[in-house]
Amino acid sequence: MIFLGFAALPLVAPAGERYLLDLAARMMIFSVAAVSLDLLVGYGALVSFGHAAFVGLGAYAVGILAAHGVNDAVVALPAALAVAMLFAYATGIVCLKTQGVYFIMITLAFGQMAYFTATSLAPYGGDNGLTIASRSLVAGYAILGADRAFYWVVLGCLLATYLSSRALVASRFGRVLRGARENPTRMAALGFDVGRFRLVIYVIAGGLAGLSGFLLANLTEFVSPAYMSWQRSGDLIIMVILGGAGSLHGAIIGSVAYLLAEEWLSGLTENWKAIFGPLLVLVVLFARGGLIGLGTQVARGLRRG
C-alpha cells in the first residue's frame, strides 16, 4: 500500500504540480536513509547518532564532482556510495569496539567531525553550502532533469532498498545479526564473529545512506554541511522510532509521518517542534512499536469488538 500510494501520486497530481512531487520525493529519499538506519537500530541494536554523516558524504560527492565538471551519475553515484562506505568502514572499526551509550557518543563524535570538515571546505561553499548547476546526467542524457522522471527513479531506489534490506534481514546473515542483538555472547560461542557481522551491516547501512545523499543532492540541487549535523541524525532516529524500529516498512511510514507533521505544523508556527515533541512522547509511551505497533493494537481491538 505504501508503494502503491507513492506510485499513484504522479498519476493523480495536477499537471505542473511540482510541490507535491518534490515533497513525496523528499519523503522517499529520507525513507531510504531511515531504512538503512533501521538495519542498525532495529536489527543490530546499534543506535548510531552520526548516521546523517553518510547522507552528507553522498551529497557532497555529487556536489564536489559537479564543481569540477563531472556531472554524470555513472561517476557520481558510485563515488557517493564508495565515499560513504569507506567512511563507514573506517569509523566502524573504531565504533564497534564500544557498545551502549559509548557507541552512541562515538558515532556522534565522528558525525560531528564530518560536519565540521564540511564547514571548513571554503572552495565548496563552507558554511553556506554548494549550489549544483543541474541534476546529474545519466550517460550524457538529462533523464533526471524532468521532475516526473526523477520521481520514478527515487521510487525505484526506495523499492530496491526496501526489497534488498528485507532479503538481507531474512538471510542467514540477518538471522545471525538478530541473534547477536539478543545475545552476542551466545552467538560468539556458536562460532560466529559478531564484530565482523556488525561491521558489514554498518558498511551496508552507510552505503544506503550515501545513496539517499546522492538523491537528496539531485533533488535540491544544493549540498550543505547541515545534511551531516547531529540534528539531522536525530531526525532519522525519530523517524525509525516513530514508525517502529525493527520493521523496515515502519521506517518508511515513520519518515512519511515525520515529514508530513513537519510540513503541517511548520505552517502553523515556527516553534513546531514544541508541538511535535509531546506528540512523539505520547506515541512512544502508548504505542509500543511505533505507528506500526499502534496499527496492530487497533486491528486487534477491532477484531475483538
Q: Which three cell numbers stand for residue 251?
A: 521506517
Rounded CA gap, 62 and 182, in Å? 39
Task: Phi first, then psi: give them for residue 266, nearest 5 degrees.
Answer: -65, -20
How large is the angle between the packed helices 101-119 and 230-243, nearest 10 degrees? 130
Distances (CA, A) of 146 to 130, 134, 136, 153: 22, 11, 11, 11
pLDDT in tens, the chain (305 residues): 889 989 988 888 776 678 888 999 999 999 999 999 999 998 988 999 999 999 999 999 999 999 999 999 999 999 999 999 999 999 999 999 998 899 999 999 999 999 999 999 898 988 888 999 888 989 888 888 888 899 999 999 999 999 999 999 999 999 999 999 888 888 988 889 999 999 999 999 999 999 999 999 999 999 999 999 998 999 999 999 888 888 888 899 999 999 998 888 888 877 877 888 888 887 777 767 777 877 777 777 777 76
Rounded CA gap, 53 and 80, in Å? 12
DSSP track, 66-112: HHTT--BHHHHHHHHHHHHHHHHHHHHHHHTT--THHHHHHHHHHHH
Report which of 285, 115, 129 is spatially closest to residue 222, judged by C-alpha positions. 129
- H or E element, residue 50: none
Q: Where are the domains of the chain?
A: 19-230
Question: Do 38 and 209 touch, CB atoms closer than 8 A?
Answer: no
